[in-house]
Chains A and B, each alone.
Chain A
Amino acid sequence: MIRIAVVGLGKMGLSHLAIVNAHPEVELAAVCDASKYVLGVLEKYTGVATYSDYDAMLRELDLDAVLIATPSRTHASMVRQALERGLHVFCEKPFTLSVQDAEELTALAQEKGAVTQVGYHNRFVGAFAEVKKLLDAGAIGKVTHVLGEAYGPVVLKPKGATWRSKKEEGGGALYDYAAHPLNLLNWYLGAPVGVGGTVLNPIFSREIDDEVHGTLFYEGGTSARISVNWSDESYRKMTTRITIWGTEGRIFADRQECQVYLRDTAPVPDGYEPGWNVRYTTELTEPVGYYLRGEEYSAQIDHFVTRVRDGLVDGINGFESAAETDRVIALMIADARKGASTTALDEVVEPAPVTGRRRWRLPWLLPQPAPQSVGQLETRKGS
C-alpha cells in the first residue's frame, strides 16, 4: 500500500481525494487544508486524519507521497518541502508561477530520485493520446500549424472573491484554462522557440485575464495559435480542443472524439484509411477502476500510484514536462507585457520586396506598469 496525504481540499482536491481514497493500492494517510471547517466535516463523517499545518503533517506522518492541490502560489514551497523529505509528489496544474521555481524543483526531484507528476489530465484523455500516436507515426506528414482552444463559462460577471481572481495567486484564464492546450502543444510539438502577439485581456475580471490569444513559433516554421476564453457562456462546461494541419492531412480532437482526414499520399497508420476517420471516446478510452467526472482523472492517479509502487521516475507529466508549460506561460506573460506589435500602412514599402519584419510600437502601448492587462484594456478603449 502506498501512503498518500492529500493537501488542499478545493474542487480538484476533493475530486482527487475521492479517487485516491477509492484506489485499491493507496492508503489515505491524512488530508491537509487551511479551512478547519472543511477538515472538521471530513473528519466527522469519514474519519480521516486531518491537518491544518502542512509542516506538522510532514513531520509527524510516515508518507510515501503527497498530492498537492492548493492554490497555485503555494505549489513551489510545498513541493520543495515534500521533495526534501524524500517524498514522491503529485501536484495540480499549473506547476509553479515562476520558471526558476519550476527548474529548481525539477532538478531537486531528479537529485532525490522522486516520482513526480503534474495534473495535466488531458494527456490521459483517449482522443488526445490518439493524436500523439498519429503525430509520432507521421500520419499527417509535416505539421504546419496547430490551433489549441479552450472555452467555458467560468467568469460571467464582474465579481469573484477567491484566489482564482487574484493575479499574484496564479488566477486567470492563462493559468487555469490556457495551460491545458499549451501543455498539449508542448506534448505534440515540443517547446516553442518564441511567442508573439499575445493578448491577455480581462473581460469581466478586475485584475486577471479572462481571454488569452497568441501565436507560438516552432523550429522548422511550424506555428500554433492559442485561443482561450473562460467567459463564454455558450459552452456548458470547459471544452479543450486541438486542430492540426499537416502536409498529408488534418486532425481534430476534443475529449469526445478524434477526427482525422488523411490524404491519399499519407502514410496511413494501421486501422486508418485515406479520407475521413473518426474515433470516438467509447473506443479510445481504457476503463478505470473507479470513475469520477472522467476516466482521465482516475487514469492519471493510477499512473502516479503505479510509478510510485514500481519506482519509475520516468512517466507521463513529470515535473520536467510541466516546467516546459510554465516556461511557455512565462513567455506569453512577458510578450503581452510588451504591448501590441503592429504594422502600419506607411511601413509597407513598395514596390521593393519586404526583406525583414519590423516591429513598430504604438507610443501609447509602451510597457505599462502592473496590472498589465487592465492597462491594455484602458488604452484600447482610448484608441
Chain B
Amino acid sequence: MDRLLFGDNQFFGVNHMSEEKARAQAMRFQSLDAVIDVLDSAYDAGVRTFMCTTHDRIALIADHVRANPERYPDFTFYPCMPYAHKYANAVTEDGMLGALRRFLPDEGLFDAAMRGASSMAKKDIEGVTTLLIDAEMKMFEGLRTPVVFLQNVIVDMLLGLGFKEAFRIFAEHVARRYDAEPAFITMNLPALLPVLEELGIENPIVCSNINKIGFRMSGGLEAYETALRERRFRAVAMSVFASGAIPADEAIEWVCTQPNVESIVFGASSARNIRSTRELVARHWDLEPSLVG
C-alpha cells in the first residue's frame, strides 16, 4: 500500500465538522472537472491511490481514468463499498427485500439470476452478498483495484449483529474474483480485530479513526494503542486531524509515530493542502510509493 491515500469525503459534501462547509464543497465539486483537477494535483504530488466510496459519481472518475491511461499509469483505486445512503434511502422507500431486489443486477445474466434466486430461497447470504459486491465493482472494470474495503456502517452493523460469516464471504470473494486484498473500515477497531482473527482473515488491512484526541475511536484511545502494539494487522489511519480539532503538524507527528500504522488516508480540496499534508508526513515517513505485492 502507498503510505498516503487520498480520500473522497470532500467531493461528496461529507464534512464531520460543519454542514455549511460540506455544502460549499458539494457546490464546488459539482463539476467533474473540479474533482479531476484536485485528483490530478494529488496524483502529481505522488498521492496516487484514491480511496473512494462506490457513489454513482465515482463511475465518472473511473471512466476518466480508463480513458486516459497515459496520464494515469499508476492511478490506483481502493473502492469502499457500499455507499450506504443509497441503500438506507431505498430501504425507507421499498422495505428491506424490495431494496435488495433493486440493487441486484437485472440484466438477466444466468449466473447472477441463479446465485440470487437460489441463495434467496436457501437464506444463504453468500450468493446475494457476492452479487452486491459484483454490482458495486462494475464501475472499476479494467482499473487497478488491489485493495477493496467494506464500509464502516456495514462492518460495524455486521459486527454488532454478530454476523461474522459475512466478513469471510466478502474477504474470499474479493480475493478470488478481483485478486484484491480484502480490507475493512470500522469505528470499533478493538472489537473488530479479534473477530477477523477468529475467522482466519490473516493480517487484514483495517482502516479506522486514529487521532491524538481519541475522536470516534470507540473502545477508547488506550484500547487502540494496545491493538496497534499487539495485534497483527495493517492499520490505515483516517480522521487523523479529528475534523480539524488537532493542529495539522501535531496530528501528523502523533499518528506517524504510532506503531504499525501503514498508511494515512486524508482528504483535501486544494493542491496546496495536498502538498502541505504530504510534506508533513514526509518529515516522519519515507514516502516512496510501494504498491501491494
Chain A residues with a Cβ under 8 A of chain B: 9-11, 14-15, 17-19, 21-22, 35, 37-38, 40-42, 44-48, 153-155, 159-162, 164, 236-237, 239, 241, 254-257, 280-283, 287-293, 295, 298
Contact = CB atoms under 8 A, between A and B. Distances in A.
Nearest to B242: A282
Nearest to B245: A282
Contacts of A283: 245
B17 A281 contact: yes
B161 A46 contact: yes
B17 A280 contact: yes
Nearest to A22: B160
B161 A42 contact: yes
Interface in B77-97: 85, 88-89, 91-97
B220 A291 contact: no
Closest A-B pairs by Cβ, 4 of them:
A18-B160, A291-B187, A291-B218, A282-B245
B36 interface: no
Contacts of B217: 287
A164 B92 contact: yes
A295 B165 CA distance: 26
A256 B91 contact: no
Interface residues of B, number: 50
A161 B218 contact: no
A303 to B, nearest CB: 16
Contact of A162 (B22, B98, B158, B165): B98
Contact of B156 (A18, A236, A295): A18
A13 to B, nearest CB: 10
Contacts, number: 130
A292 B154 CA distance: 9
B19 interface: yes
B188 A291 contact: yes
Nearest to B120: A37
Given A239-B19, A281-B16, A291-B218, A45 B163 contact: yes
A40 B96 CA distance: 14
Nearest to A165: B93
B18 A256 contact: yes
26 contacts: A11-B88, A14-B157, A14-B161, A17-B161, A22-B159, A22-B160, A22-B191, A35-B97, A37-B97, A45-B163, A48-B162, A153-B89, A154-B89, A162-B92, A162-B94, A164-B92, A164-B93, A237-B85, A241-B19, A255-B19, A256-B18, A280-B17, A282-B17, A287-B214, A287-B218, A290-B188
Given A282-B16, A292-B156, 20 more contacts: A11-B91, A11-B92, A18-B158, A21-B161, A22-B159, A22-B160, A38-B96, A40-B123, A44-B123, A46-B161, A47-B162, A153-B89, A154-B92, A155-B93, A160-B94, A161-B98, A236-B85, A256-B15, A280-B18, A291-B187
A282 to B, nearest CB: 4
Contacts of A287: 214, 216-218, 220
B161 A18 contact: yes
A254 B98 CA distance: 32
A213 B161 CA distance: 38
A212 to B, nearest CB: 17
B166 interface: yes
A254 B20 CA distance: 10
A185 B182 CA distance: 46
A45 B14 CA distance: 33
Interface in B205-226: 213-220
Given A18-B157, A287-B218, A254 B19 contact: yes
